[in-house]
Amino acid sequence: MATPRRLQVNESASISVVRFKDQKIIDPVAIQELGQELFDLIEKDDRKKIVLNFDNVEFLSSAALGKLITFEKKAKRTGAQMILTNISPEIYQVFAITNLDKLFKIKDSEADALAVL
């Protein structure tokens, strides 16, 4: 995988732990790049277990939510498991308002996610 601009990816056993470099995920170009880097994880690199750690994320737009939903669908199609972690209360509220807390598997911490993957 080329060096990602929007993501920081660490391998832990067979699990890819992904952090977002942007604190505010708003810019349409950034969202497009971020989405492609996520898609590459499963479509090019064949990663099957992914943790998305949101500890650096302070704000995200509905366009970013849309990209995460597309990623979730692609992951499901390729048989990859994905868990979201370290979501701040304000960001969690965004997921709850839009019912996406029911679509995504969410754990409090990275350790909680690693324990079940």
> At its nearest, how many Å lie between other proteins and the CB of residue 97?
4
Contacts of 109 (CB under 8 A, 6+ apart): 85, 86
Q: Does 1 bind other proteins (CB under 8 A)?
A: no
Segment contacting other proteins (CB under 8 A): 15-23, 45-53, 78-86, 93-101?
A: 93-101
Q: Does 27 bind other proteins (CB under 8 A)?
A: yes
Residue nearer to other proteins on the CB measure, 45 or 90? 90
Among 12, 44, 96, 111, binds other proteins (CB under 8 A): 96
Own/partner contacts of 97-104, CB < 8 Å, gap of 24 or more, are 98/62, 98/65, 100/65, 100/68, 100/69, 103/69, 103/72, 104/68, 104/72
Burial class (CB in 10 A: 0-12, 13-18, 19+), 47: buried
Q: Does 87 bind other proteins (CB under 8 A)?
A: no
Footprint of other proteins (CB under 8 A): 26-29, 59, 61-63, 65-67, 69-70, 72-73, 90, 94, 96-100, 102-103
